[in-house]
A and B are shown apart, each in its own frame.
Chain A
Amino acid sequence: ETVLTQSPATLSVSPGERATLSCRASQSIANNLAWYQQQPGQAPRLLIYAASTRATGIPARFSGSGSGTEFTLTISSLQSEDFAVYYCQQYNNWPPITFGQGTRLEIK
């Protein structure tokens, strides 16, 4: 099973600033990684797949990078609606499909 480890667990950033979230895989997953955003009480929303491809309708301030075992989600200029929990998910070595434990992005 491929374990995904996200860091930090909680990230405090001011609106307008940049946020950088990390996801590390326990083995190489090529670029087979997705990122999701989850607001309280809502279902997750797909942001990024194939490590760097934005999903339909996702603003350009969201970008993904990385391959192999190290991945990053960057939000270039935080808006109020971006404060949420973010999960990474791998689909390279499955089953099982696995998710990271999440990073909570909070307002500083």
Chain B
Amino acid sequence: QITLKESGPALVKPTQTLTLTCTFSGFSFSATGEGVGWIRQAPGKGLEWLALIFWDGSKRYSPSLKSRLTVTRDTSKDQVVFTMTNMGPVDTATYYCAHTFDIIVRFDSWGQGTLVTVSS
């Protein structure tokens, strides 16, 4: 059974950098095809894909946010770390990490999400 859980600050100030950690179990980045994505959802709004990292270390980012995003993996801890710089109020959202397999990117397991509020 695959599980994922996001952790990080609930509140960040404008211009600060957000760092979130996704801790997972039930799969390993040592296996070909595994991937973890980040998706966010502003309050009352739809889903927005942000980033994805694969088992081989390759990464993909949303073109509209690419300059602000970084995703890395720690294979020894089964964790993925997501950072977003220069946070603003429009970045207030629930941030999810989710599992996918292979380049056929469907997110078959999701974390519970973590609400991040950007406010001074």
* Chain A residues at the B interface, C-beta cutoff of 8 Å: 1, 32, 34, 36, 43-46, 49-50, 55-56, 87, 89, 91, 94-102
CB distance A99 to B113 under 8 Å? no
Contact B49 A46 (CB under 8 A): no
A43 pairs with B49, CB closer than 8 A: no
Pair B110/A44 contact, Cβ less than 8 Å: yes
Give 1 or 0 for each of B92-120: 1 = CB within 8 Å of chain A CB: 00001010000111111111110000000
Question: Size range of the interface on B?
Answer: 20 to 34
A-B contact pairs, 14 of them (CB 8 A): A36-B47, A43-B98, A44-B110, A46-B106, A49-B104, A49-B106, A49-B108, A55-B106, A56-B108, A87-B46, A89-B107, A95-B62, A99-B46, A99-B47
Name which residue of chain A comes closest to B4, CB basis: A43
**Across the two chains, which residue of chain A brings its CB closest to B99?**
A46
Residues of A within 8 A of B62 (CB): 95-96
List the 8 closest A-B pairs by CB distance, nearest first. Answer: A43-B110, A49-B106, A91-B105, A97-B49, A34-B106, A99-B47, A95-B60, A96-B62
